């Protein structure tokens, strides 16, 4: 299992199985269509742009991201909104992070409840926010959510540029049939299994914590996977609905 955060200088993040990168096989997305998509950067990132993880704006001063992204001192993180190309610092808004809350059910063994809520030092006022999906039944085979991120593309598009990809919900049975996924902690109650069994399209390193969106709501956030866009290895997303009450309590 590889969590899908980017790499800090000299540090390779938690690897137990394989690697998963930026949106592979996606298409360019605009910040106009996804204003709530946030780049969660880090001053120690190996990338000159600071790219590290993704996040989503759920209140003017609150972000939801993956808990596994928050393994460095809070002072090293900063949020970027409205910047499709992370290399272009002439556009977009930036805020430091003043507070971090990690879901109490999260642990690094199985990566369940992979959620963190971040408080912005400077709220992104006037920016549309993305509501949380509170219905567990929204995660069902056949629906087609969209994942957004600035992660690795494996040559299928420009890295560090906001991209999107439709990733069909395959249903929990698909990931539960993969013994490696079960061994790494996949659980129907807390995860969404989405992607293509043929591979080619997937989230990847640098996309962790980024939004999985269905019908204008945050269905999940990028969590982990084995390989990147590999056949038979769909993406694993932390599902919002089972954690919605705990998350909402942090948004007040």
pLDDT digits (tens, 9 = 90+) for 91-100: 999 999 999 9
| Total tally of structural domains belonging to the chain | 1
Count other C-beta atoms under 10 Å from residue 163's C-beta. 26
Question: Would you place residue 20 in the very low, low, confident or very high pLDDT band (cuts 50, 70, 90)?
Answer: very low
Q: What is the mean pLDDT of the chain?
A: 90
204: closest CA among 31, 11, 32, 6? Answer: 6
Residue positions annotated with a catalytic role? 68, 114, 208
Quote the radius of gyration of the chain (alpha carbons, Å): 16
Question: Would you place residue 2 in the very low, low, confident or very high pLDDT band (cuts 50, 70, 90)?
Answer: low
Question: Within a 13 Å sphere around the CA of 217, how many CA atoms are in the beta-carbon half?
Answer: 13
Distance CA 232, CA 66 (A): 24
Give the CATH number, domain containing residue 62.
2.40.10.10
pTM over 0.75: yes
CA dihedral 13→17→22→25, nearest 10 degrees, is 170
The percentage of the chain sitting over the pLDDT mark of 70, rounded to a whole number, equals 91
Question: Would you place residue 152 in the very low, low, confident or very high pLDDT band (cuts 50, 70, 90)?
Answer: confident
- Asked if residue 218 lies in contact with residue 244, where contact means CB atoms within 8 angstroms, the answer is no
Distance CA 15, CA 29 (A): 29
Range of the domain at 66: 1-252
């Amino acid at each position: 299992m590889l969590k899908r955060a980017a790499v800090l200088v000299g540090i390779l993040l938690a690897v137990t199985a394989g690697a998963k990168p930026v949106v592979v096989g996606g298409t360019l997305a605009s910040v106009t269509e996804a204003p709530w998509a946030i780049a969660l950067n880090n001053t120690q990132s190996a990338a000159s742009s600071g790219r590290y993880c993704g996040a989503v704006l759920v209140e003017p001063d609150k972000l939801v991201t993956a808990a596994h992204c928050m393994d460095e001192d809070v002072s090293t993180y900063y949020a970027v909104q409205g910047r499709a190309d992370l290399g272009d610092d002439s556009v977009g808004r930036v805020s430091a992070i003043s507070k971090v809350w990690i879901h109490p059910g999260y642990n690094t063994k199985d990566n369940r409840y992979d959620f963190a809520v971040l408080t912005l030092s400077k709220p992104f006022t006037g920016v549309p926010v993305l509501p949380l999906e509170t219905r567990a039944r929204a995660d069902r085979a056949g629906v087609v959510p969209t994942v957004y991120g600035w992660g690795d593309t494996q040559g299928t598009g420009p890295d560090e540029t906001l991209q999107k990809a439709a990733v069909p919900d395959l249903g929990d049975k698909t990931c539960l049939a993969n013994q490696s996924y079960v061994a790494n902690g996949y659980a129907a109650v807390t995860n969404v299994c989405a992607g293509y069994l043929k591979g080619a399209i997937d989230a990847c390193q640098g996309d962790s914590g980024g939004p999985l969106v269905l019908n204008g709501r945050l269905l999940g956030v990028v969590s982990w996977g084995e390989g990147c866009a590999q056949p038979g290895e769909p993406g694993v997303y932390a599902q919002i609905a089972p954690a919605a009450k705990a998350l909402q309590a942090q948004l007040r």
